Amino acid sequence: MDSSTYRSDLEFLQECCTSSPVTAILGPRQCGKTTLSRQIQADHRFDLENPRDLARLENAQLTLERLQGLVVIDEIQCRPDLFPLLRYLVDQPESARYLILGSASPQLLKQGSETLAGRLALLRLGGFRICELGPQSQDDLWLRGGFPRSYLASSTRESLRWREDYIATFLERDIPNLGIRVPPPTLRRFWLMLSHIHGQILSLSELGRSMDVSNTAIRHYIDILESTFMIRTLQPWFSNTSKRLVKSPKVYLRDSGIFHRLQTIDSWNALEGHPARGASWEGFALEECARSLGKRDQELYFWATQAGAELDLFWQHEGQSWGIEFKCSDAPTLTKSMRIALEDLNLSHLWIVHPGKESWALDERVTVIPLREVGPKWKYPLR
| Residue range 41-56, pLDDT digits in tens | 999 999 998 999 999 9
The pLDDT of residue 383 is above 50:
no
Instruction: State whether 231 and 294 are in the same domain.
Output: yes
Is residue 298 located within the same domain as residue 161? yes
Domain identity same for 106 and 160: no
Same domain, 252 and 192: yes
- Per residue in 173-193, pLDDT (tens digit) is 989 887 889 999 999 999 999
End of a domain among 74, 101, 124?
124
For 78-97, what is the mean pLDDT?
89
pLDDT at 242: 64
220 and 366 part of one domain: yes
Q: What CATH number does residue 135 fall under?
A: 1.10.10.10
Q: How many domains does the chain have?
A: 2
Q: Are residues 56 and 141 in the same domain?
A: no
Answer yes or no: is 207 within a domain: yes
Within a domain: 379: no
Residue 382: inside a domain? no
Q: How confident is the model at residue 126 (pLDDT cuts 50, 70, 90)?
A: confident
Give the confidence band of 22 by pLDDT, cuts at 50, 70, 90.
Answer: very high
My answer on whether 115 and 137 are in the same domain is no
CATH number, position 55: 3.40.50.300
Overall average pLDDT of the 264-277 stretch: 95
User: Which among 70, 95, 124 is the end of a domain?
Assistant: 124
* 211 lies in the same domain as 79: no
- In this predicted model, what pLDDT tens digit does every residue of 137-146 receive, in sequence order? 999 999 999 9
- What residues make up the domain containing 363? 130-373
pLDDT band for position 5 (50/70/90)?
very low
Do 176 and 268 belong together in one domain?
yes
Please report whether residue 380 resides in a domain.
Answer: no
Q: Could you tell me the pTM of the whole model?
A: 0.90
Does the pLDDT of residue 354 top 90, yes or no? yes
- Specify whether 337 is located in the same domain as 201: yes
**Do residue 150 and residue 253 come from a single domain?**
yes
- Which range has the worst mean pLDDT, 89-103, 212-226, 324-338? 89-103
Question: Do residues 112 and 148 share a domain?
Answer: no
Strand partners, 325: 352
106 in any annotated domain: yes
Last residue of a domain, one of 103, 124, 145: 124
Q: Which residues contact 380 (CB under 8 A, 6 or more apart)?
A: 317, 322, 348, 349
Q: Is the residue at 259 inside a domain?
A: yes
pLDDT: is 31 or 380 the higher one? 31
